[in-house]
Amino acid sequence: MSETGTKRDSRVRMAPAVRRDLILDAAQALFMVRGWDAVTIADVQEAAGISRGGFYHHFAAKEDLLSGLIARMTEQAMQTTEAAMSQNNGDALVQLNGLLDGAAQWTADNVNELRGLVQIFSRPGNEIPYRRICDAEAAVVMPVLKAIIESGIDIPSANTMIVDRADTYGLSQLHQLRGRIGRSDKKAYAYFMVPHDRLLSSIATKRLRALQTYADIGAGFSLATSDLEIRGSGDILGAEQSGHIGNIGLELYMELLQEAIAELKHETVSHKQLIEMQTPFHTNIPESYIPDTGTRLKYYKRLSNASKTEVLDTIAEELQDLYGLHPESLTNLITILESRITLSKISLNQVKVGKKLITLSFNRDELEQNTSLRDKLIGFCMQRPKVYKMNPDFSVQCKFAEIVEPSTLLDFSKHIAQQMDPC
C-alpha cells in the first residue's frame, strides 16, 4: 500500500498549459529535423514524454499541432509588435512604424522556425492554417491602417500614393484618398492599382472611369452625381426604392423631369435651335463599345451639347482613352457634329446629304433681315453656278463629282463657313 502511494507521489504533475507547450516544443523540434511528413503522433508523444491520452487531451490530430504552433508563434509575434507599438505618443504613423520594426525584429529572432513553417505551408492542403495566421496578423495590422486612413497623416511633402486593389473601394473613398496628397507646392501622383489577371465588375469599372473623367479641382459634385447614378436612386416622385434613373442617367432624368413639370404648369420650355443633319451615314455609339445604357446616353448628350470643336475633341479623346479606338459609326457621328458646329454661324436650318449632293436650307427670315449674309451667299453661289444652285426658298444645292463621305461634308462645311463668315 505504501509502495503504491510512493509511486503516485513520485509522478511529475504539470499544468495543462505547460503540458501543451511541451508537446508543441517536441513537435516543432521534430518537424525541423525530420520534416512534416516523416513525423508521426507517436514520435511526438515519445519525444515529449506524454501518454497517448495526454496528447489527445490537447490535440485531436497531427494537423492540430501545426495550428497550435501557428497560434503560439503568432501570439509571440504580436506581443513583440504590440510592445514596439506602445512606445509612442499614439500617432498612427508612429504606430505603424513600431509595428513594422517589431515584426522585423521578431522575424530575425525566429528565422529558422519561420523557414520550417514556410516549407510546411508550401505543401498542398495547408491553405487553411496559412489563412489562420494571416487573419491573426490582419487583426492587429488593420486597426492601425484604418486609423491612418481615418485621421490622415500630416506629411505635406508626400506626393505619391499607391492604392492596391482600388476596385474594392468606393468612389468617395478613392476621391478622399487621393486628396491626402498634393497639399504642398509639389506635383502629386495617385496610383490606383487593379488586378490585370481578372475581370473587374461593372460597378468597379464605372467608379474608376468616373475618377478618370472628373480629375480636376472642384470635381467633387460631379463625382457625387456619378456615385448616385452608379449606386442607384429611387423614384423621386414616388415611394419606390428604385426608378428609371439608372437607365438614362441622373442629369438627363432631371432635365426630363423639369420639362414635364413645366408642361404641367403650362410654361413654355425653351430649346436651343440646332441644325437638322440628315445624312445616310451610320452614326451612333455601339452597345459593344459602351455596354452601359446610362453611360451611352450621357455621352450622346455631351456630344450633342458641344458648342465648340475644342469641346468635341476633348470628349473624343476621353472616349478613346476609356474605351479604345473609335468604331466607324462613332467617328462618323463626331464628324457630323463637327460639321454642324462649323455651320452654326451661317443661319442654317437643315443640311441634307445625298449620294453626290448636299442641300443647305437657310433660315429665310434671318437672310431677309441680314442683307450682308444674304449677299455673301449669293456671291458664293455665283462663283461656281454649275456646282452651287440657289433656289427661291433660300436653299442651296451643292453637286459633287464623287460620292459624299463624312469627311467630304466636313471639308465643305469649313469651306462655306469661311466664305460666308470669314471672321
Residue 306 burial (C-beta neighbours within 10 Å; 0-12, 13-18, 19+): buried
Residue-level pLDDT at 289: 92
Which positions ≥6 away from 389 have C-beta within 8 Å? 381, 396, 397, 399
Query: Count of CB atoms within 10 A of residue 140's CB?
Result: 16
Residue-level pLDDT at 84: 63
* 10-151 and 276-420 have identical folds: no
Residue-level pLDDT at 8: 40
> What single-letter DSSP state applies at residue 166?
G
Residue-level pLDDT at 7: 42
- Using the Cα atoms of residue 48, residue 53, residue 58 and residue 59 in order, give the sign of their dihedral: positive
Task: Of 299, 329, 304, give the one whose Cα is nearest residue 317.
Answer: 299
State the DSSP string of 348-365.
EEEEEE-SSEEEEEE-HH
* pTM (global) more than 0.75: no
- Is 120:65 a contact under the CB 8 Å cutoff? no
- Tell me the average confidence (pLDDT) per consecutive run of 10 residues in the chain, 423 residues long: 43 76 87 78 89 86 80 73 63 70 78 70 59 66 65 72 86 82 79 82 84 76 75 59 56 73 75 79 92 83 89 92 91 94 85 91 80 81 84 85 92 86 56
Location of C-alpha cell 472616349: 319
CATH architecture of 10-151: Orthogonal Bundle (1.10)
CATH architecture of 276-420: Alpha-Beta Complex (3.90)
What residue ranges do the domains of the chain occupy?
A: 10-151, 160-179+190-213, 276-420
SS3 label, residue 289: coil
